[in-house]
Protein backbone atom coordinates (compact mmCIF):
# COMPACT_ATOMS: atom_id res chain seq x y z
CA UNK A 1 0.00 0.00 0.00
CA UNK A 2 2.87 2.39 0.80
CA UNK A 3 4.32 1.86 -2.68
CA UNK A 4 1.00 2.76 -4.34
CA UNK A 5 0.73 5.88 -2.21
CA UNK A 6 4.27 6.87 -3.18
CA UNK A 7 3.47 6.40 -6.87
CA UNK A 8 0.28 8.43 -6.50
CA UNK A 9 2.15 11.22 -4.72
CA UNK A 10 4.82 11.25 -7.43
CA UNK A 11 2.16 11.39 -10.16
CA UNK A 12 0.48 14.35 -8.41
CA UNK A 13 3.83 16.17 -8.29
CA UNK A 14 4.33 15.54 -12.00
CA UNK A 15 0.85 16.91 -12.73
CA UNK A 16 1.64 20.04 -10.71
CA UNK A 17 4.94 20.44 -12.58
CA UNK A 18 3.15 20.17 -15.93
CA UNK A 19 0.63 22.85 -14.94
CA UNK A 20 3.46 25.09 -13.72
CA UNK A 21 5.38 24.60 -16.98
CA UNK A 22 2.30 25.42 -19.08
CA UNK A 23 1.52 28.53 -17.04
CA UNK A 24 5.14 29.70 -17.03
CA UNK A 25 5.38 29.20 -20.80
CA UNK A 26 2.15 31.09 -21.42
CA UNK A 27 3.01 33.95 -19.06
CA UNK A 28 6.51 34.38 -20.44
CA UNK A 29 9.63 35.55 -18.68
CA UNK A 30 10.16 38.67 -16.70
CA UNK A 31 9.20 40.34 -13.50
CA UNK A 32 5.64 41.30 -12.75
CA UNK A 33 4.14 38.16 -14.28
CA UNK A 34 2.86 36.67 -11.02
CA UNK A 35 -0.59 38.23 -11.42
CA UNK A 36 -0.83 36.80 -14.94
CA UNK A 37 0.34 33.38 -13.70
CA UNK A 38 -2.28 33.47 -10.94
CA UNK A 39 -4.99 34.38 -13.47
CA UNK A 40 -3.93 31.55 -15.78
CA UNK A 41 -3.93 29.03 -12.93
CA UNK A 42 -7.38 30.29 -11.91
CA UNK A 43 -8.64 29.86 -15.49
CA UNK A 44 -7.37 26.27 -15.53
CA UNK A 45 -8.96 25.58 -12.16
CA UNK A 46 -12.29 27.15 -13.18
CA UNK A 47 -12.41 25.08 -16.36
CA UNK A 48 -11.74 21.88 -14.38
CA UNK A 49 -14.39 22.78 -11.78
CA UNK A 50 -16.85 23.45 -14.58
CA UNK A 51 -16.17 20.04 -16.09
CA UNK A 52 -16.59 18.35 -12.72
CA UNK A 53 -20.08 19.84 -12.56
CA UNK A 54 -20.26 20.11 -8.79
CA UNK A 55 -19.80 16.40 -8.20
CA UNK A 56 -16.84 14.56 -6.72
CA UNK A 57 -15.31 12.75 -9.70
CA UNK A 58 -13.73 9.33 -9.39
CA UNK A 59 -10.05 8.82 -10.17
CA UNK A 60 -10.48 8.12 -13.89
CA UNK A 61 -12.87 10.99 -14.34
CA UNK A 62 -10.54 13.29 -12.36
CA UNK A 63 -7.60 12.42 -14.62
CA UNK A 64 -9.70 13.06 -17.72
CA UNK A 65 -10.86 16.40 -16.31
CA UNK A 66 -7.26 17.43 -15.62
CA UNK A 67 -6.18 16.30 -19.09
CA UNK A 68 -9.09 18.14 -20.71
CA UNK A 69 -8.19 21.28 -18.76
CA UNK A 70 -4.61 21.16 -20.01
CA UNK A 71 -5.79 20.48 -23.57
CA UNK A 72 -8.17 23.44 -23.33
CA UNK A 73 -5.39 25.65 -22.00
CA UNK A 74 -2.99 24.56 -24.77
CA UNK A 75 -5.66 25.17 -27.42
CA UNK A 76 -6.30 28.70 -26.13
CA UNK A 77 -2.55 29.38 -26.10
CA UNK A 78 -2.16 28.09 -29.67
CA UNK A 79 -5.10 30.22 -30.82
CA UNK A 80 -3.59 33.25 -29.14
CA UNK A 81 -0.25 32.64 -30.84
CA UNK A 82 -1.95 32.36 -34.23
CA UNK A 83 -3.82 35.61 -33.73
CA UNK A 84 -0.66 37.35 -32.47
CA UNK A 85 1.30 35.97 -35.42
CA UNK A 86 -1.24 37.39 -37.86
CA UNK A 87 -0.14 40.85 -36.78
CA UNK A 88 3.60 40.18 -36.72
CA UNK A 89 4.22 39.45 -40.38
CA UNK A 90 4.86 35.70 -40.18
CA UNK A 91 5.51 33.70 -43.33
CA UNK A 92 2.86 31.53 -44.95
CA UNK A 93 4.73 28.41 -43.83
CA UNK A 94 4.84 29.61 -40.21
CA UNK A 95 1.15 30.50 -40.34
CA UNK A 96 0.22 27.05 -41.71
CA UNK A 97 2.31 25.37 -39.02
CA UNK A 98 0.58 27.42 -36.31
CA UNK A 99 -2.85 26.54 -37.73
CA UNK A 100 -1.94 22.84 -37.66
CA UNK A 101 -0.97 23.19 -33.99
CA UNK A 102 -4.40 24.66 -33.29
CA UNK A 103 -6.11 21.82 -35.17
CA UNK A 104 -4.11 19.16 -33.29
CA UNK A 105 -4.83 20.82 -29.93
CA UNK A 106 -8.51 21.00 -30.80
CA UNK A 107 -8.60 17.30 -31.76
CA UNK A 108 -6.90 16.36 -28.48
CA UNK A 109 -9.42 18.39 -26.49
CA UNK A 110 -12.40 16.90 -28.29
CA UNK A 111 -11.03 13.35 -27.92
CA UNK A 112 -10.55 13.87 -24.18
CA UNK A 113 -14.02 15.36 -23.76
CA UNK A 114 -15.52 12.48 -25.74
CA UNK A 115 -13.74 9.96 -23.50
CA UNK A 116 -14.90 11.85 -20.40
CA UNK A 117 -18.49 11.72 -21.66
CA UNK A 118 -18.18 7.98 -22.29
CA UNK A 119 -16.78 7.34 -18.81
CA UNK A 120 -19.62 9.34 -17.28
CA UNK A 121 -22.19 7.51 -19.36
CA UNK A 122 -20.80 4.14 -18.29
CA UNK A 123 -20.97 5.21 -14.66
CA UNK A 124 -24.69 6.02 -14.75
CA UNK A 125 -27.00 3.02 -14.31
CA UNK A 126 -29.77 2.68 -16.86
CA UNK A 127 -33.07 0.99 -16.06
CA UNK A 128 -35.24 -0.54 -18.76
CA UNK A 129 -38.97 -0.54 -18.07
CA UNK A 130 -41.72 -2.00 -20.25
CA UNK A 131 -44.99 -0.11 -19.92
CA UNK A 132 -47.95 -1.17 -22.07
CA UNK A 133 -45.64 -3.05 -24.45
CA UNK A 134 -43.47 0.04 -24.93
CA UNK A 135 -39.83 0.01 -23.87
CA UNK A 136 -38.70 3.00 -21.82
CA UNK A 137 -35.08 3.55 -20.80
CA UNK A 138 -34.49 5.64 -17.70
CA UNK A 139 -31.07 6.93 -16.78
CA UNK A 140 -30.61 7.05 -13.03
CA UNK A 141 -28.30 9.12 -10.93
CA UNK A 142 -25.87 7.63 -8.47
Q: What is the per-residue pLDDT across 83-126, written as a single tens digit (0 to 9) for each?
A: 876 667 788 888 888 899 999 999 999 999 999 999 999 886 55
Which residues are bridge partners to 137 per DSSP? 128
Give the count of alpha carbons within 13 A of 84, CB side only: 6
22: how many CB neighbours lie within 10 A of its CB? 18
Regarding predicted confidence, which is higher, 126 or 33? 33
Question: Of 22-31, 67-76, 79-88, 108-117, where does mean pLDDT reach its minimum?
Answer: 79-88
pTM confidence score: 0.74
Supply the mean pLDDT for the chain.
82
pLDDT given at position 82: 87
Amino acid sequence: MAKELELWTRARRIDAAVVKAFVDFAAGDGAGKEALRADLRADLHDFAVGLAGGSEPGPVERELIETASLCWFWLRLAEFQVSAGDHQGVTLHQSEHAEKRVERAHRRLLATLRTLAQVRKLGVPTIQVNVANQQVNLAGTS
